[in-house]
Structure 1
Amino acid sequence: YLRLLERVFAHVGITPNPAKHAAFDIYQTKAQGRDLPKVILTDDQQHLYMEHLPEVAPYDLTVDDGPEWKRRRDRAILAMLLGAGLKVSELVGLNTDRVGARDSTGSIPVEITPWSVNGTSRNHQTQLRPFAVADVMAWVEERNAKKIPGKLLFPANLDGKKLDKSTIYLLTKATYKKAGIEVKRKGPRTLRNSFAVRELESPDGSIELTGELLGLRKRKSTEKYLITNKLLNKKRLIT
């Protein structure tokens, strides 16, 4: 019934959709304290995060700037995590041919396939949102110009070696620190959670769509974000 109501409200254009958060009490009761609210970044913290990505010089094909290319790669990685909500395993296994062209909304489709993450995710397509597109696409163009071997979008070196997951965790923690963002969990998962809640809050957002973007198999996995979203809205009202 909740799913039906959500679709009805979406069809008639009622915003915010009252059915989106109707399951909050149900899932909070079922959890019985076992499922703690997910850690997410507020809107202001997300802006701070993007403002404190590694500072880089524009890529110049005619100039050999040594290891500076890694900083541009890292900037794109950090933008991708918040902008598309990828898991670390999905990001390190992402191939260049899985990043599409900008659509009418300014977003870019990113396809995730099971084989790229050793079968730990189902085939699905997420969206790299407009605020992160410039940083990611600048790296895509540079990577193509450098003719790095292999297909990995974010290689560890110019030989195309696969990036170690620990590098991603170090990058995110360093960015939180640089931006002065204080949260309980300073890792990529917090960025994925922030993406999920942001999608649920968007005018066209829904549990089904958000679940598809995240590659979640069960609806109840997406519904858990409703608890986090409701608590975030309460915090906004207080502040």
Structure 2
Amino acid sequence: MDKLTTWDANPVQAFKEFIATSAFAETGRRLRADGSIRVLSPQSAKIYLFMFGNLADWLHQEGIRFSAVKQTDLLRFIDRRVKGKRILNSKIAYRYLRLLERCYEHLELTPNPAQQAILGVDRAHMVKDDAGRSLSSEQLERFFAALPAQAPQGRPSTAFAGWKRRRDRAMQVVIALAGLRVSEAIGLLVGELGRQVALDGSILLTITPDEKLDTSHEHTVALPRAGADELRAWLKEREEMGIPGQLVFPANLTGNKMTRKTVYVQMRATFERAGLDLARSGGRTLRNTFAKQQLDQGASAEELKDVLGLALERSAADYQFTQVKPDPAA
């Protein structure tokens, strides 16, 4: 069975085997300082497998064999939309095409459909799309004012009526004021909260990879007084409710883990109530806002790397050299 037939029969398995070989590393043309080829990390392999799986599912739905993919097919894939909004921003779309370019190069398919599609991508738009988006001080105040109410409307039916509203409120405040990823907030553990309150009312959060995505790196960040007050009020209620487990923001009374989709929906609702641009109504916008505030206060790339929990200083430098633009009001 030749390579094309193998990839057509089971593209995901063929790709999984391909990325484990030196052939994949060679297509990337990424060399270490000593001239040796960079080996793919387990974290990167997991991301690539996820990306390729998305494409394979789409090809199956479209009835297209992997070896028969054309440039127009790939452009349709990266331009998919839901309610008029693109599923993939242009930077991620470009990464998909670059990954597929390596696959078709390995298969010696000429012309390379991914390479052709790359030539059709609006790179100028990609640069603009790649720019980080953040909230201005006034917009951030509007976001906080639009958070879920602390008390339920009307007469409460039980002692803890509306507890999920207060959980969501506290979580969104922590994400905004500590610059956490959504996955880090979902997986935040009680043991990661500092027990000592600083003179300014802040508390330290020590974020570990436990219960989070494996892209999270251990780091410590100060949650300022406004966030600390919200968090302590929620923790007191959580304790009184007797919710088991260590998750600070559990999904239910049995202490299960929340989903990212649930957090996204609740956060989007806050953006909508605040009258802010829904095109960037997510945790990334709040994280960008936190990063911009750190830079405005004089933080260096090294210091920003530490408080954001980034693996590389150059990742933090992206926040310095990328134009971070305030979201316009809706």
Give the TM bin, normalised by the shorter chain.
Answer: 0.7 to 0.9
Q: Indicate yes or no: 2:182 matched with 1:94.
A: no
Distance 1:41 1:80 in 2: 16
Trace 1:52-201 onto structure 2 (pairs within 5 A).
Answer: 52-57=146-151, 64-100=158-194, 101-182=196-277, 184-201=279-296
Q: Deviations over 1:184-214 (max 9, x none)?
A: 31111100111111111125x2222211111
Is the contact between residue 192 and residue 205 of structure 2 (CA under 8 Å) also seen in structure 1? Answer: yes
Residue 44 of structure 1 and its aligned partner are, at CA, apart by: 0.7
**Are residues 1:225 and 2:326 paired?**
no
Secondary structure class of the residue paired with 1:114: coil
Change (3 A) 1:95 1:104: same
Q: Give the structure, 1 or 2, with the largest relative contact order (CA under 8 Å, sep 6 or more).
A: 1
Provide Cα deviations, 1:148-200, integer angstroms capped at 9, x if missing partner: 11110000111101111111101111001101112631111100111111111
Name the residue aligned to 2:62.
Answer: none
Partner SS, residue 156 of structure 1: coil
Q: 1:39·1:193 contact (CA, 8 Å) conserved in 2? A: yes
Gaps of 5+ in 1: 1-31
Aligned to 1:6: none
Distance 1:120 1:214 in 2: 12
Number of equivalences? 197
Contact 2:203 2:223 in 1 (8 A): yes
What secondary structure, in the 3-state scheme, does the structure 1 residue paired with 2:279 have? coil
* CA-to-aligned-CA distance 1:22-59 (integer Å, 9 cap, x gap): xxxxxxxxxx966521011111111111111111229x
Aligned to 1:14: none
Q: 1:39 touches 1:183 (CA, 8 Å); kept in 2? A: no
Aligned partner letter, 1:115: D
Quote how far apart the aligned CAs of 1:66 are.
4.9
- Deviation of the 1:119 alpha carbon: 2.5
Larger mean Cα displacement after TM superposition, 46-55 or 118-127: 118-127
Give the direction of change, closer, same or farther, for the CA distance of 1:184–1:227 in structure 2 (3 Å limit).
farther
| Cα 1:55–1:112 shift into 2, 3 Å | same
Residue identity in the other structure for 2:284: R
Counterpart-to-counterpart distance in 1, 2:191 and 2:160? 26
Task: Give the SS at the match of 1:132.
Answer: helix
Q: Give the conservation status (yes or no) of the 8 Å contact 2:133–2:324.
A: no
Give the 3-state SS of the residue equivalent to 1:49 in structure 2.
Answer: helix
- AA matched with 1:170: V
SS at match of 2:311: coil
Structure 2: where are the runs of 5+ without partners? 1-122
* Aligned-residue RMSD, C-alpha: 2.2
1:210 equivalent to 2:304? Answer yes
| Structure with bigger gyration radius | 2
TM-score, length of structure 2 as denominator length? 0.55
Check the 8 A contact 2:134/2:325 in 1, yes or no: no
TM-score scaled by length of structure 1: 0.75
Corresponding residue for residue 46 of structure 2? none
* 2:25 aligned partner: none
